[in-house]
Amino acid sequence: MTTNAKIVLIEDEKNICSFIERILAPQGYQVISAPTGQKGLELIHSLDPDLILLDLGLPDMDGLAIIEQVRSRSAVPIIVVSARTMEKSKVAALDMGADDYITKPFGTAELMARIRTALRHRKEHPGFKNTRYEVEDLIIDFERRLVKMKGQEIHLTQIEYKLVSLLAQNAGRVMTYESIISKIWGPFADNDNQILRVNMANIRRKLEENPAEPKYIFTEIGVGYRMREE
C-alpha cells in the first residue's frame, strides 16, 4: 500500500540520505532532505511534514536541540536515526519527545515498520482511545479491564494491569523506564527501576510461554519496554 506522507529527513551523510530515499520513494513517501539542523528546522516550519527522520550528530547543532524546538510547538512524529548507541542518548531523545529510535546500521524492514507505526499513531484523533488490543493469543479489553490468554482470563494485580494497559495502548512505541514510572506511580515517584522490573517479570510469567523469549513485551535494554504492535 502506497502513501503520500511527507517526510523531512535531517541527515548530513549523503549515502544515508540516498539509501533512505531509495527505500521510501517507491512506497510513495515524499522525502525532503536537509544536511544541517538549521536547514531541517526551516523545512519543518515551512512544509509541516507528517514525519521527521532525525540524525543526532549534525554538523551545526545537536539533534536533541531540534527535538526540543519541534516539541515546543508540534506533535509531529519524530524517529531518531543515529549511530549513537549509548543508552543515555536513546533515553534522552525519547524522554525529550522522540517517538522512536533506530540505531545505525538498520534494516529496510525495520525502518519501514517504525515509520508505519509512527504515521498510524499520528492519524489517531487526540480523543480516540482503543478499546481492545489483540495479538495472536493475547486479548486485552480496556473497557472491561479484562486480559485473556488463549481464551482463559489472566489475573493481574492492579499495578500489573495498569502496566500492560499502558504498553498495549502505545503498542509499537518504546516507552522509557522513567516515563512508565511517572505514568503508573506518579511524577514524584523514585526513578529506581527495580519495582518496575519486578512487576514486568511477574507479568511475563503470566503472559509469555517462555519469559526469556517474549512474544508480546520486549525489553529495550537500558531504555525501556516496547509492546508488540497489533
Given a contact cutoff of 8 angstroms between Cβ atoms, the answer to whether 154 and 115 are in contact is no
201 plus 147 within the same structural domain = yes
What does the block give as the cell for 73?
A: 510547538
CA distance readout (Å), 161 to 60, 142, 149, 151, 212? 45, 10, 14, 17, 21
pLDDT for 128 equals 46
46 plus 85 within the same structural domain = yes
Which residue shows C-alpha cell 511534514?
49
Q: pLDDT of 112-134, one tens digit each?
A: 989 998 888 776 544 445 688 99
Q: pLDDT of 17-66, one tens digit each?
A: 999 999 999 999 999 999 999 999 999 999 999 999 999 999 999 999 99
CA distance readout (Å), 61 to 49, 68, 73, 95, 144? 21, 12, 19, 19, 48
Domain that holds residue 44: 6-123
CATH of the domain at 39: 3.40.50.2300
Q: Is residue 172 part of a domain?
A: yes
Q: Is residue 1 part of a domain?
A: no
Q: pLDDT of 53-85, one tens digit each?
A: 999 999 999 999 999 999 988 889 999 998 877
221 plus 169 within the same structural domain = yes
User: DSSP letters along the chain, please?
Assistant: -----EEEEE-S-HHHHHHHHHHHGGGT-EEEEESSHHHHHHHHHHH--SEEEE-SB-SSSBHHHHHHHHHTT----EEEEES---HHHHHHHHHHT-SEEEESS--HHHHHHHHHHHHHHHHS-TT---SEEEETTEEEETTTTEEEETTEE----HHHHHHHHHHHHTTTSEEEHHHHHHHHH-TTS---SHHHHHHHHHHHHHH-SSTTS-SSEEEETTTEEEEPP-
Q: pLDDT of 204-219, one tens digit each?
A: 999 999 999 999 999 9
Given a contact cutoff of 8 angstroms between Cβ atoms, the answer to whether 171 and 227 are in contact is yes
Given a contact cutoff of 8 angstroms between Cβ atoms, the answer to whether 135 and 217 are in contact is no
What does the block give as the cell for 67?
A: 527535538
Any idea which of 102-116, 128-142, 195-209 has the lowest mean pLDDT?
Answer: 128-142
Confidence of residue 4 (pLDDT cuts 50, 70, 90): confident
Contacts 24+ apart (CB under 8 A), 148-153: 149/206, 149/207
113 plus 31 within the same structural domain = yes
Give the integer Cα–Cα distance in Å for 76 and 88: 23
Task: Pick the last residue of a domain from 70, 91, 123.
Answer: 123
58 plus 117 within the same structural domain = yes
